[in-house]
Chain A
């Protein structure tokens, strides 16, 4: 018989309940998250410029070898006022545009073929693997022999440099297109062209656009290198000339223009991605 039902059993005293100690639970979930600090980058730039300017003014850095930012700014303003900025920028932009467009179109065409047709891939992969590691600027002398010292040799260098990464980005992007989407389209009887247009192309677009970012940087590097080797105008030629004349403020102004140009290209590509890939 349980004690509760036995009148002769001694009453059971309940054990005292220890009150809970009011200790808060320690938070352990901080860190490892990305927070936006929009002013941090501006502050870092401002600090860098201030330190650089201060070091120059205090004589810690020779203005001949490292002119202060104010001098670089004045040189840039001079470039704007005498028209040399636009003259050189125009020449570089034209070379980048033509070379990049040629290399990109060719690369996408070949990349698509390699992504879609097994035979094209079997032929293309070893060729791309063999040519891709060649530093493209090393071919400029050959292109000069073939096409002359003028613009075509520079277009060819940039185009060639852009071509191979575009091929790789394009066929890799096609590989990344989910096969279940292609099977779905086939199961609904979509023709080959429709599958290509409606599924493969949009599905490969993120990878192709990521490739654009890389090839734009390559084009910028190659245009500067090509202009340093043989050009009258262009930011590369301008920077080289300034260096030869020991005009380090003008040289750094040219470098600043290149940096801004890279930033502008990156911004355009980001906008393009935002517009075309808003579904992600």
Chain B
């Protein structure tokens, strides 16, 4: 499934947060969106997922919805968004309850998501009994249960410690290796973008405009190898240079205001 963002602008009252965004996300592509705080990354994701109405411009999807897909565009949230009163299994079940599935299929979707995320033993646990990493795994299992065509990830690892981030990045890589799901991945972490994305979209400070789209040539599966490090370091420097300039200017503008 492809995502086409055309001339997208969004304002909160008098504050323009996104300005003239044109973006195409190819089928199976992972596009990371980075930029300084307040540049409209999460707003862009919200608009792409249909939970924020844009002021102007459009977001369209093209392509076939795969078999068994119940929610083509599916979010994975920074704060996990789990219902604290439901156990792990019931949190995953929530997103299937309104679909006309047989109880066997419903259970199969829940079980397969939980097993893939290593949560089977914790299926009866409440969110408060889980670590941050496990909670995010529940969020991923919930997303997998609807067999999405496109994932929208809103800083999914930013609330987690470094060790858990590494483990979950491996989970994401495994997920994308198997499913080839198209993904829009908002992050402020360059290492995540370099490890996971095919392209990186750098947004300017507010109002967010596309500053640059950087392609990472190195295949994802080879990025941990020593031979890839020179290229990745070069891309990293370039991204950091772009980000730093924008962040510094944003800071100065805030100080002046």
Q: Considering the complex, which residues of chain B in the window 24-55 have a beta carbon less than 8 Å from any beta carbon of chain A?
A: 49-51
In the complex the two chains form, what is the Cα distance from A183 to B126 in whole Å? Answer: 21
In the complex the two chains form, what is the Cα distance from A270 to B77 in whole Å? Answer: 34
| A185 touching B126, Cβ below 8 Å | no
Is A199 an interface residue when CB atoms closer than 8 A count as contact? yes
Q: Considering the complex, which residues of chain B in the window 73-89 have a beta carbon less than 8 Å from any beta carbon of chain A?
A: 73-75, 77, 79, 81, 83-86
| B94 touching A198, Cβ below 8 Å | yes
Contact (A190, B74) CB under 8 Å given A180-B81, A183-B51: no
Q: Inside 8 A of B126's CB, which chain A residues have their CB?
A: 279
In the complex the two chains form, what is the Cα distance from A184 to B91 in whole Å? Answer: 11
Contact (A183, B81) CB under 8 Å given A279-B126, A279-B128: yes
Is B256 an interface residue when CB atoms closer than 8 A count as contact? no
Is A187 an interface residue when CB atoms closer than 8 A count as contact? yes
In the complex the two chains form, what is the Cα distance from A187 to B97 in whole Å? Answer: 14
Contact with B along A197-208 (1 / 0, CB 8 A): 011001100000
Is A181 an interface residue when CB atoms closer than 8 A count as contact? yes
Is A36 an interface residue when CB atoms closer than 8 A count as contact? no
- Selected from B51, B70, B86, B98, the residue in CB contact (under 8 A) with A187 is B51
- Selected from A180, A198, A277, A280, the residue in CB contact (under 8 A) with B97 is A198
Q: Inside 8 A of A184's CB, which chain B residues have their CB?
A: 75, 77, 81
Distance of B119 from chain A, by nearest CB (Å): 18
Is A191 an interface residue when CB atoms closer than 8 A count as contact? yes
| A280 touching B75, Cβ below 8 Å | no
Q: Inside 8 A of A198's CB, which chain B residues have their CB?
A: 83, 94, 97
Is A259 an interface residue when CB atoms closer than 8 A count as contact? no
Distance of B83 from chain A, by nearest CB (Å): 6
Distance of B158 from chain A, by nearest CB (Å): 14
Distance of A53 from chain B, by nearest CB (Å): 48
Is B107 an interface residue when CB atoms closer than 8 A count as contact? no
Q: Inside 8 A of A194's CB, which chain B residues have their CB?
A: 97-98
| B85 touching A279, Cβ below 8 Å | yes
| B71 touching A181, Cβ below 8 Å | no
In the complex the two chains form, what is the Cα distance from A142 to B78 in whole Å? Answer: 56
In the complex the two chains form, what is the Cα distance from A186 to B46 in whole Å? Answer: 11
Is A2 an interface residue when CB atoms closer than 8 A count as contact? no
Contact (A185, B74) CB under 8 Å given A198-B83, A202-B83, A279-B128: no
A selection of 9 A-B contacts at a CB cut-off of 8 Å is A180-B77, A184-B77, A184-B81, A186-B51, A187-B74, A188-B94, A188-B146, A191-B98, A203-B83
List 5 tightest A-B contacts by C-beta distance, closest first. A184-B81, A279-B85, A188-B95, A187-B75, A202-B85
* Chain A interface residues toward B at CB < 8 A: 180-181, 183-191, 194, 198-199, 202-203, 277, 279-280
Given contacts A188-B74, A198-B94, A280-B84, 9 further A-B contacts (CB under 8 A): A181-B83, A187-B49, A187-B71, A189-B70, A189-B71, A190-B98, A194-B97, A194-B98, A277-B85
